[in-house]
Amino acid sequence: MGLVYLAEDPAIGRQVAIKTINLENLSEPGQEQVLRDRLMREARSAGILSHPGIVTIYDITYAEHMACIVMEYVEGTTLYDRMTAGPLESKELLSVLEQTAAALDYAHGKGVLHRDIKPANLMLTADGTVKIMARCWARHRIWLRSKSPASPWPLLPTNSLLLSLPTNW
């Protein structure tokens, strides 16, 4: 969907990763704005997260038909690439699982879900730290089913209750 570049933040001299997403040549009119809105929602969702196991998003910007997401640069390899090189030792596997679960638990506690957890979205650093890659983050709502056939909330579908996390945390 895009290319990632290594860059330097000129204001403070840190290395950053810039993911570019081409918004030109989309198949339907209006699709560019829909994609821009989705990227902004994902950046806002990820922006409330501050955890050592989650890549930090610094900024999102647009230039003509290009979206640029500026994020923390993580030097390492993806879990996918590491698994391709051979099986993980039990200790390494348990460490990856524990760190990933801790980061996801933190995000879920903030009301944010990662919609695409897979080995290609987990970075492993040389010291064994696991970082969940940015993007695909979204605030979540939970649908619960009521056992009662009569809903006390007439504006909601019968047998359904929508719970939404507060937006002012």
What residues act catalytically?
A: 116
Closest among 9, 13, 37 to 23, alpha carbons compared: 37
Beta strands in 9-153 (DSSP E): 15-22, 57-63, 66-72, 77-78, 112-114, 122-124, 130-132, 137-139, 141-145
| Structure token digits, residue 138 | 């979204």
| Distance set, CA 84 to CA 99, 139, 160 (Å) | 20, 32, 44
What would the DSSP string read from start to end of 107-127? HHHTTEEES--SGGGEEE-TT
**What is the rounded CA–CA span in Å between residue 98 and residue 118?**
15
